[in-house]
Structure 1
């Protein structure tokens, strides 16, 4: 039996797909230890895994809920002051990492292999400094693809979807501009704090800083990366990654614990529309626009039923709620998608993958981060429609819902992608790909073996 240390970003969108990996490895007899802040402990332990706490003096229990509530509700100078306070905590976190906080956990747990989130290069650098072979988990679209490959042009995108391509081009341009700006700031000695600390960690633990990308993160060019999604969804026609990665199945943990729901309020005979903007805090005006549009859509389609996850949203809306709308804090999303006719989603990678897995067409309202890129792929593959949350109204939302619920073309395309997703969800192949990197194998992750690691993972 080997011990594996898993370090996901402390958000559900990053923890949930790592549970599938962890459970498959645990069934093979390995000991799985998750490492994270205290707010993630209950979720991890409820799923049956060991847990090690990081930065408890900085991020005590309840910290994440506090941040989400204050960022979404506070405005003006009060909000700016609080964000600066959070930024100081982040810098203290980097200092603590430099002083050896994760070293103590590694020494205590003695992992044989590390699995770290692509957005947490700090844990990767420390693990590699301890000579622990480590794989990078990418729970979204590989950033390297977005940097190296411009969005598809009209030869692979139908004319009706060109507006999505234009938005994608702007997203890609912003990423490229950010890259150049970071290079310039580094050259003149004005590195942002996170980049400065990551370079310091790289130097301390013997990792070449030039192997990190413009934000001080792992690019996948020099170390093995698992992309938790089939290739067919991620890569557009005629465009491929400039690096070798290993595409896995979608890593949807069908065994994860889900919240209760008043199922008696739903009728199995009526079309069901699931609506959620995910678990991250949204700008209040955008969340308000979303809930107003969904509420009015329920009024205009009384023969349907709508379920809305409010998540971090706490504002009470004026006026009566339609009888065909059920609002809860959190939904049992996997159970709900088994019977849903459509989903209105923010375009979080996990929600989109789960919709595909269960064959549910989407209306995607991307807000930030990877969501515009994910939405572009949904539209390109014919799996749903896209709208701008900043200008969303019932008049734009209802026709899009009518289209994805009633037009059979979306179901046909979803059936094709669903078949690929379900075929790729092979626990045996997933575990085999990871176990190849345990000590004693040909690609154990020792210094100087990066190319061997990449070769072992490439080509799927």
Structure 2
């Protein structure tokens, strides 16, 4: 049997895809373990998971960087690298090293944003695979921005000198051995191999270990259901947008009902409402089975889970990879894009009407979803990882 160590950042959206892959490997008899934040991994990976704790910088509650909500574009990218990814790698490196020494894995599976795993694997001479929970970085997101690309490369070179093997030169975001992309070209368009082979396996959609209770009896079978969510990392930016969503949805209550996810309670204490249900969290996968449309921030996981279920989207990207993913949704014909910071209830309503009333959007969503299912998900990812462990890696 082969031992696999999963190295993940303290981000739910980056852990969830890996959970399905780890479960598949464990079902095949392979020992698996995790390096990351135990408080987050425990509920997601399950109580039986072997977790080696990794440090995180003093980001604040939940181990996430407190990014100023007004940051967009280059300023947001600068913050992501200088104030989150690089400090996170330095904080995680000792824990990843301890996990390698104690668990003695044969292969590391390293999230793109947990580059400490790649650098430690290099130093120990272990094969490693990249877990790419977003496709933005290998679909030309930095094309035409050579200075930005060079700046990131310089940051990673300096980081390698501190925690990796200074003699190596590869990009730790992309394994030379294997990159698992949790998407397909039907959504992303053409994909270029940045370092080594990329295998598109589609989303690793698996039942969540834990899920919040949900009042299923509230749903009206005679009306279409719309899910509104901005993910788990945007509670500081969404008040105006969620308010506009609520207004647009209330104007369509004769034919629609909506579930709005509001973890920060920016809409205030929810009152009983037959048309709009506001909750801090929802069982998203189960709810998507009943949804007619999704309004979201174009987070990669939410987009892929919606398309997996054949649900079209209204996407309002905020920052990071979200504009790239939103562009993929529109190019695939599976949704409509609106501006996050300058969208009124009228514009949101028009976008939602287009998604619901034009059957081409749902047809495109189903086409992409079919490609996801055909790609194999967690089982296909496990196949590729098993094949990697069978090869001799220099």
* TM-score, scaled to structure 1: 0.75
* Cα deviation, residue 90, structure 1: 6.5
Q: 1: CA distance between counterparts of 2:159 and 2:240? A: 39
For residues 93-124 of structure 1, the C-alpha deviation after alignment (integer angstroms, 9 at most, x for no partner) is 62773xx4432221111112110012222111
Q: 2: CA distance between counterparts of 1:92 and 1:357? A: 31
Q: 1: CA distance between counterparts of 2:70 and 2:335? A: 34
Residue 412 (structure 1) aligned to one of 348, 363, 366: 363
Q: 2: CA distance between counterparts of 1:72 and 1:242? A: 31
Q: 1:203 to 1:129 in 2, by over 3 A?
A: closer
Residue in 1 that maps onto 2:90? 94
Residue in 2 that maps onto 1:228? 182
Residue in 2 that maps onto 1:179? 149
Q: 1:121 to 1:223 in 2, by over 3 A?
A: farther
Are 1:270 and 2:223 an aligned pair? Answer: yes
Matches within 5 A, 1:256-335: 256-284=209-237, 287-303=238-254, 304-311=256-263, 313-317=264-268, 323-335=274-286
Contact 1:44–1:51 under 8 Å retained in 2: no
For residues 330-349 of structure 1, the C-alpha deviation after alignment (integer angstroms, 9 at most, x for no partner) is 11100100000100011111
Q: 2: CA distance between counterparts of 1:359 and 1:106? A: 40
Contact 1:345–1:364 under 8 Å retained in 2: yes
Q: 2: CA distance between counterparts of 1:88 and 1:327? A: 31
Q: How many matched pairs?
A: 383
Q: 3-state SS of the aligned residue for 1:389? A: coil
Are 1:125 and 2:80 an aligned pair? Answer: no
Q: 1:114 to 1:273 in 2, by over 3 A?
A: same
* Cα deviation, residue 91, structure 1: 4.3
Q: 2: CA distance between counterparts of 1:96 and 1:277? A: 27
Contact 1:139–1:349 under 8 Å retained in 2: yes
Are 1:349 and 2:300 an aligned pair? Answer: yes
Q: 1:14 to 1:73 in 2, by over 3 A?
A: closer
Residue in 1 that maps onto 2:62? 65
* Cα deviation, residue 427, structure 1: 4.8
Residue in 2 that maps onto 1:54? 54
Q: 2: CA distance between counterparts of 1:416 and 1:317? A: 38
Residue 392 (structure 2) aligned to one of 444, 455, 458: 444
User: Any unmatched runs of 5+ in structure 2?
Assistant: 72-78
Q: 3-state SS of the aligned residue for 1:326? A: strand
Contact 1:72–1:282 under 8 Å retained in 2: no
* Cα deviation, residue 64, structure 1: 3.7
Q: 2: CA distance between counterparts of 1:362 and 1:127? A: 39
Q: 1:322 to 1:274 in 2, by over 3 A?
A: same
Residue 431 (structure 1) aligned to one of 364, 382, 391: 382
Q: 1:42 to 1:388 in 2, by over 3 A?
A: same
Q: 1:314 to 1:435 in 2, by over 3 A?
A: same
Q: 1:246 to 1:7 in 2, by over 3 A?
A: same
User: Any unmatched runs of 5+ in structure 1?
Assistant: 76-82, 149-171, 187-191, 448-460
Residue 373 (structure 1) aligned to one of 324, 329, 337: 324
Q: 3-state SS of the aligned residue for 1:436? A: helix
Larger gyration radius, structure 1 or structure 2: 1
Are 1:41 and 2:41 an aligned pair? Answer: yes
* Cα deviation, residue 400, structure 1: 0.7
Residue 218 (structure 1) aligned to one of 143, 168, 173: 173
* Cα deviation, residue 130, structure 1: 1.9
Q: 1:428 to 1:332 in 2, by over 3 A?
A: closer
* Cα deviation, residue 316, structure 1: 4.3
Q: 3-state SS of the aligned residue for 1:129? A: helix
Q: CA RMSD in A?
A: 3.1
Q: 3-state SS of the aligned residue for 1:409? A: helix
Report the structure, 1 or 2, having the larger helix content. Answer: 1
Contact 1:47–1:257 under 8 Å retained in 2: no
* Cα deviation, residue 73, structure 1: 8.6
* Cα deviation, residue 74, structure 1: 12
Q: 1:316 to 1:263 in 2, by over 3 A?
A: same
Q: 2: CA distance between counterparts of 1:345 and 1:30? A: 37
Are 1:398 and 2:349 an aligned pair? Answer: yes
For residues 4-53 of structure 1, the C-alpha deviation after alignment (integer angstroms, 9 at most, x for no partner) is 11012221110111111111111101121111023313324536422111
Q: 2: CA distance between counterparts of 1:112 and 1:137? A: 16
Which is further off, 257-266 or 317-326? 317-326
